[in-house]
Structure 1
């Protein structure tokens, strides 16, 4: 049961209020908590969850959306503009898939074992940066390795000022270490591979066994899928959390800002290349290649940047021709 509350407790702000027209003041704002094939479920100021018949296909909505509904029927009249939106590009899909919207912080969960993969974490960081959310990497299963601080240091090196925390969702305290990103009316989404403890973390945050949990397969530490749908939950004593299904592949396309923020050391050097349209592959006077050769840019990280660029992200343009 969802208690009656102020809209601000749900994440409502002037950003959304300013979108309401003078002819819409009688409509009721609701926040989407679940998206199903033929219906939406929302939370408003009324008690309980509301079934919201959509005017459009439910695929046009995301968990976290704000919508305006008719007072008696709860029919969705229109969706308000999103402040942030997480869109997932997956291999073989024609269009990005909506993952969640109006998210403040993104918890990227990985474990201190074979699941830890710098290249995959960088994809999640691009995902977060491009959406306008604040990424936080959470390391689990520290008890499975002799030196979890090594994983923490490697994760911190992926992006400037990136928060990285070692947590134990199964046995340790999680609410207090994460309060900076979960307090008030903030909304956090949780992503990561299956089996790293995402659902266990969500359960601890909301103090309920809402999400199914599972272990990892023997031999390879790969997780079994446990979360199969997205849903919005109230954090005990705090904001809101959206769990997502385990994501094994995440394509990066049309994410110029996300890439530039992640690879800031390359972004900042690029304007110093001899040629304004330098591709950083073979051109003479390339400041980026010089930094790679000097060791100030990690060669492995440079190759990962190049791979993401080649995957389809538009190349940054600094002008044309020679200086």
Structure 2
């Protein structure tokens, strides 16, 4: 979804598919040996998360790794702010993932609130929405389009998770000339070929690891481990360290042991 065709003006027949500017993909949930294409030719990625029990920093980190790997600007969009008394706490948790991360908190049903997202949806711009089921992607699309043509469903009360509303990738044309690419909810996102994205999202660990005494430090019990020292001093956190190691192990064990720069 997202490929552009060159069409003959006279016959209106497709001539060829244009080269892709970028491509989002993940490991197939059913078979990790295969890859699943998600979206192509995206200018901005709206990473949609809701201000409730389903909010997950670890999941946001995965989406950010994907965005950085592809080279697309990410914007974290926090929805359902009307259902919490502390929306600023969710926003602060998202901003803490990486410096300069753009985070927008909106009420997806309020056109005035959603209007702050319009700057990314102008003429010639393609915006993809990624997030788990029930976070309000379809509601956002409806509000940005000024329509309620896309079905929405209530979340499950027990854990604030949702059912799939969008079951296939869909593109929606906006009045201002932009395109919205809506995707089915993804609770599982196994990354594929994302070493560079991991390094960007976890650059604090990458830079600290370059100060370890040994270039192949496993950040366990080795003497002179700068990463462990930083965790002990409170500069880095154990939770974030564990998430870094997990993502790096999924992608490539070599990412865990970056070489020192000379």
The count of aligned residue pairs is 258
Query: Counterpart in 2 of 1:85?
Result: 23
CA distance in 2, matches of 1:186, 1:299: 39
- 1:16-66 per-residue CA deviation (whole Å, 9 max, x = no partner) reads xxxxxxxxxxxxxxxxxxxxxxxxxxxxxxxxxxxxxxxxxxxxxxx1112
- Three-state SS of the structure 2 residue aligned to 1:311 is helix
Contact 1:207 1:236 (C-alpha < 8 Å) held by counterparts: no
Give the root-mean-square deviation of aligned CA atoms: 2.0
- Three-state SS of the structure 2 residue aligned to 1:178 is helix
Alignment of 1:208 with 2:147, yes or no, is yes
Deviation at 1:298, TM superposition (A): 1.5
CA distance in 1, matches of 2:208, 2:188: 30
- 1:233-253 per-residue CA deviation (whole Å, 9 max, x = no partner) reads 122325211000011100123
Contact 2:20 2:41 (C-alpha < 8 Å) held by counterparts: yes
CA distance in 1, matches of 2:231, 2:86: 28
After TM superposition, the structure 1 = structure 2 runs for residues 242-257 of structure 1, keeping only pairs within 5 Å, are 242-257=181-196
- Three-state SS of the structure 2 residue aligned to 1:305 is helix
Contact 2:192 2:251 (C-alpha < 8 Å) held by counterparts: yes
After TM superposition, the structure 1 = structure 2 runs for residues 200-239 of structure 1, keeping only pairs within 5 Å, are 200-239=139-178
Q: TM-score, normalised by structure 2?
A: 0.90
Which one has more relative contact order, counting CA pairs under 8 Å at least 6 apart?
2
After TM superposition, the structure 1 = structure 2 runs for residues 39-118 of structure 1, keeping only pairs within 5 Å, are 63-69=1-7, 72=11, 74-75=13-14, 77-93=15-31, 94-118=33-57
Query: Counterpart in 2 of 1:193?
Result: 132
Query: Counterpart in 2 of 1:60?
Result: none
Query: Counterpart in 1 of 2:91?
Result: 152
Instruction: Identify which of 237, 244, 254 aligns with 1:315.
Output: 254
Contact 1:194 1:224 (C-alpha < 8 Å) held by counterparts: yes
CA distance in 1, matches of 2:258, 2:132: 36
Contact 1:256 1:314 (C-alpha < 8 Å) held by counterparts: no
Query: Counterpart in 2 of 1:299?
Result: 238
Relative to its length, the structure with more helix (as a share) is 2
Alignment of 1:139 with 2:78, yes or no, is yes
Deviation at 1:92, TM superposition (A): 3.0
Unaligned runs of 5+ in 1: 1-62
The worse-fitting range, judged by mean Cα deviation, of 146-155 and 169-178 is 169-178
Deviation at 1:305, TM superposition (A): 0.7
Q: 1:144 to 1:208 in 2, by over 3 A?
A: closer
Deviation at 1:170, TM superposition (A): 1.2
- Three-state SS of the structure 2 residue aligned to 1:257 is helix
Q: 1:291 to 1:171 in 2, by over 3 A?
A: same
